[in-house]
Amino acid sequence: MMKERDVLLNELAQGLRPMSQGIDWFDSLGQEEQSEVLLSLRHHCVQARAVAEDAQESIRRAGLRLTHTPAVLISRGRIDEQLGKIAGLTPHDERRKAFRLLIAVLTIADVRRREGFCSDGCSHWWHRLSDAP
């Protein structure tokens, strides 16, 4: 089922909305909603088949330093477990960094998925967002 939030997250990942708009939206949410968004992003990243090799480019695209907690987490261990730890971060500044990083991971994994699995067409609604009027 398509939710407005999922549309927004995918638009951010596909570059159809500026990241500054995404950060403003994320910052406007309460702590509980932010946690839900991060968990949803983690799910999208796993569904898009994010791999450990996506870590460094994701950190770069998110504009994080290698010493930032989400960057440290994504760089060690199994990616699906690390994405869960990143989504579970609670300090506000760490959640914002986590949001930026998870959007970058989704961007990279989804591009690879489109090129590999969906190049001949697919039924993923989020791959047709740029076709919307």
Mapped onto helix, strand or coil, the DSSP state of residue 30 is coil
3-class DSSP state for residue 18? coil
The per-residue pLDDT string of the chain (133 residues; one tens digit each, 9 = 90 and over) reads: 458 898 899 999 999 999 999 999 999 999 999 999 999 999 999 999 999 999 999 999 999 999 999 999 999 989 989 999 999 999 988 999 999 999 999 999 988 887 776 667 665 556 566 665 5
For residues 43 and 80, give the distance between their C-alpha atoms in angstroms, rounded to a whole number. Answer: 9
DSSP 64: -
Which of 102, 48, 46, 31 minimizes the C-alpha distance to 73? 102
CB count in 10 Å sphere of residue 113: 18
Backbone angles phi, psi at 16, to 5 degrees: -85, -15
Write out the H or E segment, with its range, that includes residue 46.
helix 31-47
